[in-house]
Amino acid sequence: MDTHQENFHHALKFQYDLCIGCAHCTEICPTAAIHIEGGLPVLNPNRCIDCGRCYSACPVSAIYVEQDDFQTIYDYKTPVALVPTIFFAQFPEKIEHDSILAALHYLGFKFVYEVEESVGVLKHIMNEKLMNGDCDKPVISSFCPAIVRLIQVKFPSLVNNIMLVKPPLDLTSLHIKKHLVENCGILNEEIGIFYVAPCPAKIAAIKSPVGEDKSSVTGVINMNYLYNKVLRIIKQGTELPALQNDHRNVMTRRNLLWALSGGEIALLKEGRNLAIDEVHNVSAFLEKIENEDIDNIDFLEVRACDQSCAGGILCANNRFLTVERQKQRAAHSPVRVSKKFNELIQNFDYLADNSKVGKVQPRSMDKLDNDRAVAMQKMEKAFKINKFLPQVDCRICGYQTCKEFSFAVTNGVIGLKSCIFVQRLLNENNGISADERAELAKKTWGVQKLDINNIPDDLL
Amino acid sequence: MLLEYQVNGGDFTNAGSVSSNVKKMMRQLGVDSSVVKRTVVALYEAEVNIVAHAYRGVITVDLQPDKIYIKLADEGPGIADISQAMQEGYSTASVAVREMGFGAGMGLPNIKANSDILNVNSVVGKGTTVEITNNF
Ligand SMILES: Nc1ncnc2c1ncn2[C@@H]1O[C@H](COP(=O)(O)OP(=O)(O)OP(=O)(O)O)[C@@H](O)[C@H]1O
Ligand SMILES: [Mg+2]
């Protein structure tokens, strides 16, 4: 079995007391990681990539994203907020950048850094890596952690294509620590760096980094939570502290476009480079790449959310409006800045030396058994079952597709009679009683949904 | 396990779907990804050859716990001189086809390089049969 399993942390959790067992999450999952049992979703932790499609699909908000308690920032003498630029683009235009910064200071943060401050440095590292050609082509970006996990489980033969470089988040965080210790006389243990996350994949990646032992970030704050907190402070007219000792790294246009679709490939000097967003789109494209159906591509920017990070599920606002605001800010920002306006450039060598991450391991979700002969038997059985299933993918059995159901039957976790079509073919005389049918339905959908008393008499 | 797929000449849109299926099944078996890759590349090139050069064909896949055997039998013009067709860079593709990026004459050599055993048989005017075997 999978030895990495215990390290595979997930930031998405079901709140079973709120769940109505509607199976919308089952339907949307790009890796078929969820099925329904007893009226509730069951997650296969080896398949989940923390993309958050289920979170968006849930009609009753029964999925929550694990995060650190905001109060933990006060455990540190010098709490630092590490904020993605799109956080600022969530707010209504009337609210000025400085008010948001001031509100963050009001909340207790001693310093506020924008995640993409290191993009200028990263640009050089990436271009150098691409020139060295130490990766299989096409080189695939490692920026989006949901996509890295998608490749591990669904496209294991592409793991060697992943560019082994840290994302802006880690580089900026490394810089902050070094800078505050060396130039501001702050003790390392007093510093707590809190990343404001736009998605569960980033949270999961910090809690259990792929290709690294430990993240350089101290804690994670849900972007949606912080947005509401900051907006309330501003709206209530709270008297905010004057901004004084805050560092001001001037953001360039390119830094600001990084988090949007196409922002990464815009930094590359040469080659045939493509940007693809939304996890199902990415999956379909990687399928072609894996078949060598498409070649001559040098670099792939691949992100799990539509409109990239502006579409992160923890973003408070409409993604298209966020993109528009972010582009406005970029248009009003300089194309390049000199060294004195970006302290990160002074740490270039240090960041470049520490930019590597370890190899990404494949964790194929497809393998049916460790014993190939047994796997063969299972495959044959599942194939035989799937062949007569209706292919309607109705999910009445609780599985995403007829095909997934056929594997579940093969593995003995559910009986063939749980298929509604099979039930219709059988009757009292040849295999299934009315009671048994009701029992099977309850096993998948729970007792509550199948209580006749739920239906008012006058409707029957 | 035996599987059969139909392939139509001229249908470049769907070329590659057989490879996708075979890849997935090999992965379910837990076959080493380098072998999966070799097989997929060989199969894909052979599938495209039917699409590009023949009228129609049938692909039979026999997947065993320790090896995969693939037979691609087509109805088509056939190949007159197989050893010539096997040479790198040999292609009968027209200028127009070459301009579309096909016809580098690398298909058959690639198939050879990516299969443990390769058999090509052909009858001019009737069709071609390509057999690929890869051991796990
Ligand atoms: N199934 C087939 N039926 C008829 N002729 C074929 C078939 N497969 C290959 N050939 C002939 O053999 C030649 C060489 O095939 P090969 O696959 O090596 O190159 P190609 O198909 O011309 O170009 P490429 O595969 O590099 O795009 C082809 O040009 C064609 O004349
Ligand atoms: Mg060819």
Among the atoms of ligand 1, which is closest to the Cα of residue B45? Answer: 25
List the single residue in A with minimal CA-CA distance to B63.
Answer: A376
**Amino acid A248: pLDDT:** 67
List the single residue in B with minimal CA-CA distance to A362.
Answer: B33
Residues of A in contact with B44 (CB under 8 A): 291-293
**Amino acid A246: pLDDT:** 59
What CATH number is associated with residue B26? Answer: 3.30.565.10
User: pLDDT tens digits, chain A, 460 residues: what are they?
Assistant: 333 344 567 899 999 999 999 999 999 999 999 999 999 999 999 999 999 999 999 999 999 998 889 999 999 999 999 999 999 999 998 999 999 999 999 999 999 999 999 999 999 999 998 988 878 889 999 999 999 999 999 998 899 999 999 999 999 999 999 999 998 999 999 999 999 999 999 999 888 777 676 788 999 999 999 999 999 999 999 998 888 765 667 889 999 999 999 999 999 998 999 999 999 999 999 998 988 778 789 999 999 999 999 999 999 999 999 999 999 999 999 998 877 777 788 888 999 999 998 888 888 888 899 999 999 999 999 999 999 999 999 999 999 999 999 999 999 999 999 999 998 888 766 778 888 888 999 999 999 888 888 888 888 7
Q: How far is B82 from chain A, CA to nearest CA, in Å?
A: 25
Query: What is the rounded distance in angstroms from the CA atom of residue A189 to the CA atom of residue A432?
Result: 66
- Subunit contact A367:B36, Cβ cutoff 8 A: no
Mean pLDDT of B38-67: 94
| Element at B40 (helix H, strand E) | helix B33-53
Q: How many structural domains does chain B have?
A: 1
The range of the structural domain enclosing residue B117 comes to 2-135
CATH number of A372-448: 1.10.15.40
State yes or no: pLDDT of B99 exceeds 80: no
- Is the minimum CB–CB distance between A287 and chain B shorter than 8 Å? yes
**Interface predicted TM-score (ipTM) over 0.90:** no
**Amino acid A373: pLDDT:** 92
Q: Choose from A158, A366, A406 for mutation: most chain B CBs within 10 A.
A: A366
Mean pLDDT of B84-104: 83
List the single residue in A with minimal CA-CA distance to B21.
Answer: A291
The rounded Å distance from CA A67 to ligand 1 centre is 57
Query: What is the rounded distance in angstroms from the CA atom of residue A47 to the CA atom of residue A8?
Result: 10
Domain ranges in chain A are 12-65, 70-353, 372-448
Which has the closest alpha carbon to B15: A294, A225, A76? Answer: A294
Mean pLDDT of B119-128: 96
**Amino acid A1: pLDDT:** 31
**Amino acid B14: pLDDT:** 82
Three-state DSSP at B37 gives helix
Fold of A12-65: Alpha-Beta Plaits (3.30.70)
The pTM of this model reads 0.90
Residues of B with CB under 8 A from a CB of A: 1, 15-16, 19-20, 23-25, 27-31, 33, 36-37, 40-41, 44, 63-66, 136
Mean pLDDT of B48-72: 95
Query: A134-160 burial, b for 16+ CB within 10 Å, e for fewer?
Result: ebebbbbbbbbbbbbbbbbbbbbbbbe
Please state whether beta strands B127-135 and B67-75 pair in parallel, antiparallel, or not at all (unpaired): antiparallel
